[in-house]
Amino acid sequence: MELLIQNAKLVDEAAEVWADLLVKDGKIAAVGKELDCAGEVVDAAGLTLMPAFVDLHCHFRDPGFTQKEDIETGCRAAAKGGYTAVNLMANTNPVCSDMETVRYIRRKAETMGLVDVHQCVSVTKNFDGRTVEHLKELDDKVKLISEDGKGVMSNHVMAQAMKIAKEKGLTILSHAEDMEISPYDYRLAENIATAQHIHLAKYLGARLHMCHVSTKEAMNEVICAKIGKAPVTCEVAPHHLWFTDSDYRVNPPIRTKEDRDFLIWAIENGYVDAIATDHAPHTAEDKKNGAPGMVGLETAFGVCYTILVKERRLPLTLLSRLMSAGPAKILGVQKGRLLPGYDADFALVDENREWVVDAAQFASKGKNSPFDGVRLQGKVVRTIKAGKTTWQE
């Protein structure tokens, strides 16, 4: 199967060019002018073609909490947001602590064909906070492990998990929260756990990825680790780049303007590896009762384009690195660039489109978004995976 996309502005992490792009058998075959195509031709004049987005941090709530989200609705939300690959957290019911649960989730996603779904396994078995022997049984379908939703409280347990992860080539995703401190100071809880996990990773040589970094102090710890060549990467969430001093409940919380501005400074100076949504759907009743989290897949590009590109004047190539090439590298997939040989996964976006978020129209079951009613600029109008359209406005 062939597909030719003509007349678009092509933007990835390295370049911004006007060219055509040819797809053959699900891969990018050529980028240039006057390319021949035996299949479909798409005239994308006035639009920007970017590598599809990769989200390192999602919750699809399946198995066990499908009243909030399931694999199908999660995949549809991802496709609508321009994503073709997501990594799911393990806080399901049962907790994803074994290959049987991983295979169940992957099979469901594969029948959809919309998004490549990767699944984290929990750092400790069933989140018991102690047992890590199950990590030795994981096969190469698992690339990342995480206790997301809670912090690993024991440094000894985290060290044991890091040793196994290093042996198996796994990356640990850290939900940095000292849960003994968080009841009275969420900020200190993040800062202390961030420092602990980074020092363990440096000592043991294990690959560590810091999730949803939200404070200036935590980001400084990451920056120091990077300067010291430690095997540490990090992500920030769109809502922490947009909101300040808000009481909308997410974990970690919305921080101060000083924190937000420092996160953006860290992005501008190359210290942030990825933007991840922490897509966390809840029922209206659960959210009313205080459940932390918000949905983010369908608003992420618009939020990040508006705050980073339009308001802060950062280049779209940098946003492409954060939403595509950076997370793809951490996940170890051949996505995120507009080069021959890479997966033919694209987001066609209209940079000039202004739109108002309407949570009622989300493909996700979750409608819990503080962006409901917010005006954004930059909208995904078509998503293509392996040369096939998975969503179109």
Q: What is the dihedral of CA 302, 305, 308, 311, to 10 degrees?
A: -90
Q: Give the dihedral sign, CA 242/247/251/254.
A: positive
SS3 112: helix
Residue pair 54/38 in contact by the 8 Å Cβ criterion: no
pLDDT at position 149 is: 85
What tokens appear for 181 in the block? Answer: 């401190």
What tokens appear for 219 in the block? Answer: 């980001």
**Structure pTM?**
0.97
How many beta carbons lie within 10 A of that of residue 194, not counting itself? 27
Task: Decide if 278 is catalytic.
Answer: yes
Is residue 76 exposed (0-12), middle (13-18) or buried (19+ Cβ within 10 Å)? Answer: buried
pLDDT at position 299 is: 98
Domains of the chain in start order, with CATH, are 2-49+344-392 (2.30.40.10), 53-331 (3.20.20.140)
pLDDT at position 1 is: 81
Smallest Cα–Cα separation from 157: which of 116, 122, 190?
A: 122
| Catalytic residue (one of 62, 278, 343, 345) | 278
Paired sense of beta strands 16-24 and 27-32, if any: antiparallel
Per-residue confidence in pLDDT tens, the chain, 393 aa: 899 999 999 999 999 999 999 999 999 999 999 898 889 999 999 999 999 999 999 999 999 999 999 999 999 999 999 999 999 999 999 999 999 999 999 999 999 999 999 999 999 999 999 999 999 999 999 999 999 988 999 999 999 999 999 999 999 999 999 999 999 999 999 999 999 999 999 999 999 999 999 999 999 999 999 999 999 999 999 999 999 999 999 999 999 999 999 999 999 999 999 999 999 999 999 999 999 999 999 999 999 999 999 999 999 999 999 999 999 999 999 999 999 999 999 999 999 999 999 999 999 999 999 999 999 999 999 999 999 999 999
The contacts of residue 342 (CB under 8 Å, 6+ apart) are: 27, 28, 51, 334, 335, 336
What tokens appear for 159 in the block? Answer: 């060290």
Smallest Cα–Cα separation from 355: which of 81, 86, 78, 79?
A: 81
Residue pair 10/18 in contact by the 8 Å Cβ criterion: yes
SS3 260: helix
DSSP element (H, E) containing 21: strand 16-24
